[in-house]
Structure 1
Amino acid sequence: MSTTDEIVHVLFNRGLPPLEPGDKVWNDGLTGKIKGLKEHRFVVAALHLANDDIHNCHLISQDNEGDPTADLLHATLHRREGDYGNSKYWWSRVSHPLIPSITTAKSFVDACEVHAGSGSSEEVKLREKQWEEIKGLVLWTRENCH
């Protein structure tokens, strides 16, 4: 059995994730370990998101619609799957301390749509920003969701 700290260590030390992982989970071996954690559901969802497991993150966020953290996870996962219109819909519903500006969040969605898969230096910058955002979401849920 893995602890949350061990899983976080593995996830945070991976290479830079793609903007859009598609349906490819980064580490299939972590999926069951993440599901088996005795953690708040939003910690589990954020860890799934960090593992590029859009499906399992979606199950949790959708089941908790209306909660600010669930809606933040929902907005983020739809951006990562390339469903940009749906992502912006969810950003319109987000009111969360991690997101100071919905306008900025939606602009980030637009930039991801333009540059995803381009291989440009701008895409790399967006990937870096997104990865910092996801890691911040993991840390925030661990500190604030009990």
Structure 2
Amino acid sequence: MPSQTDEIQDQLFARDPIPPLEPGKKAFDPSLARPISKLNEHKYVIAALHLANDDIHHCHEIAQANEGDPTANLLHATLHRREGDYWNSKYWLSRTSHPLLPDISAAKAFVDDCEKVQKPRNKAMRDQDEDLRLRTKQWEDIQALIRWIRENHHA
């Protein structure tokens, strides 16, 4: 029988369309914030599920409270990229040594690519193919991060 964590993860992973590069101020599903926060899981699982729900605020609270831990730093870098704080994202990447980040320069280049496609605030002027490519990579990375955290951090 799937756990509540599995159910929330499955619900988030089934999102269609996939999440935007920058979600804005509103969570994908605000009704999930409380159930995610109440899960009997490691704090990084909770933070990563908040991140997948576009709930940058709740993810940030956990990441910031655990600065210096490689997984918290990776969550911190990812959430800042998603909120469009690209410089800060690269700062946190510089402070991160993590198994999911074998190449920091490639991770920083991805941040730069996200910034370039997001620069035209007028969505009609964005490179739609590049936006989809970046959103797909970002979503795959977030899913991989959740899976890795669930395998490596237990409540």
Quickly name the TM-score band, shorter chain normalised: over 0.9
Write the distance in 2 (CA, Å) between the matches of 1:119 and 1:43.
33
Write the distance in 2 (CA, Å) between the matches of 1:138 and 1:123.
22
Q: How many Å apart are 1:120 and its aligned residue?
A: 1.6
The residue type equivalent to 1:92 in the other structure is: S
- TM-score, length of structure 1 as denominator length: 0.97
The residue type equivalent to 1:9 in the other structure is: D
Write the distance in 2 (CA, Å) between the matches of 1:119 and 1:8.
30
- Does residue 1:20 correspond to 2:22, yes or no? yes
- The 5 Å alignment of 1:133-144 reads 133-144=141-152
Give the paired residue count: 145
**Worse overlay, 108-117 or 95-104:** 108-117
**1:84 maps to which residue?**
86
**1:7 maps to which residue?**
8
Write the distance in 2 (CA, Å) between the matches of 1:52 and 1:73.
13
Q: How many Å apart are 1:119 and its aligned residue?
A: 5.0
The Cα RMSD (Å) is: 1.0
Runs of 4+ in 1 over 6 A off after TM superposition: none
Q: Which has the larger radius of gyration?
A: 2
Report the secondary structure of 1:115's partner residue: helix
Q: Alignment identity in percent?
A: 62
- Candidates 128, 132, 135, aligned match of 1:127: 135
Write the distance in 2 (CA, Å) between the matches of 1:36 and 1:138.
17
Gaps of 5+ in 1: none
- TM-score, length of structure 2 as denominator length: 0.91
Write the distance in 2 (CA, Å) between the matches of 1:25 and 1:83.
17
